Chain A
Amino acid sequence: SQKIEQNSEALNIQEGKTATLTCNYTNYSPAYLQWYRQDPGRGPVFLLLIRENEKEKRKERLKVTFDTTLKQSLFHITASQPADSATYLCALVNQAGTALIFGKGTTLSVSS
């Protein structure tokens, strides 16, 4: 079955640095991958979607890469701020194409 792994449960960085989060997947080849942000006690909010034929996508301080050979996506936040502190979830559509499956998330803490 499909499996998604986000490499670490927690990441602590200093304000102004670049945060890099990793998402690895196994057992199939999705056509696209999504990243969401979730704050405590709230529902996830969509950030970015990247397709298999796109190597990189940017939105303001966010950058996502998608390496279908390595079966990996990297999510970068440049010039990080304390307000970026949250849990970031990686999501892929399942093989049946019927629903999104999610990784467990990486909790980012940015200290000032």
Chain B
Amino acid sequence: DGGITQSPKYLFRKEGQNVTLSCEQNLNHDAMYWYRQDPGQGLRLIYYSQIVNDFQKGDIAEGYSVSREKKESFPLTVTSAQKNPTAFYLCASSISRGWNTEAFFGQGTRLTVV
């Protein structure tokens, strides 16, 4: 089945550690996105990529990094510089940057700092 797979579903991080969240899609979509969701907040854009080997910062990119070496994969690293990383992280993709079509979301990764 086509779709987006995020892993792991739950992730625990110690203070000062970097962690990487995985996002893979087999929809042959060009565009991929990372959002963060906190209780009572909407989805906030962290990073996005329209093509391989290119990505752009979103509204809250500080403390995060990404790579887009393959069309299917868009991993997100939460670095130790991110002061409040506990949140629900969502990866999404779409056919193109036009956004006149639907976005497909993964099931999310819940990150907790312990």
Contact = CB atoms under 8 A, between A and B. Distances in A.
Given A42-B107, A99-B48, A100-B103, A4 B42 contact: yes
Interface of B: 4, 6, 33, 35, 40-43, 45, 48, 50, 56, 58, 88, 90, 92, 97-108, 110
Contacts, number: 64
A96 B103 CA distance: 17
A98 interface: yes
Interface of A: 4, 9, 31-32, 34, 36, 41-46, 49, 51, 89, 91, 93, 97-105
A103 B56 contact: no
Nearest to A104: B42
Given A98-B50, A98-B56, A46 B102 contact: yes
Contacts of A44: 43, 90, 103, 105
Contact of B42 (A34, A45, A89): A89
A41 B107 CA distance: 8
B108 A43 contact: yes
Nearest to A92: B99
Given A42-B108, A99-B33, A99-B58, A105 B103 contact: no
B42 A103 contact: yes
A104 B40 contact: yes
Nearest to B48: A99
Contacts of B43: 44, 89, 102
A102 B41 CA distance: 9
Residue among A34, A45, A89, A98 with most chain B CB within 10 A: A98
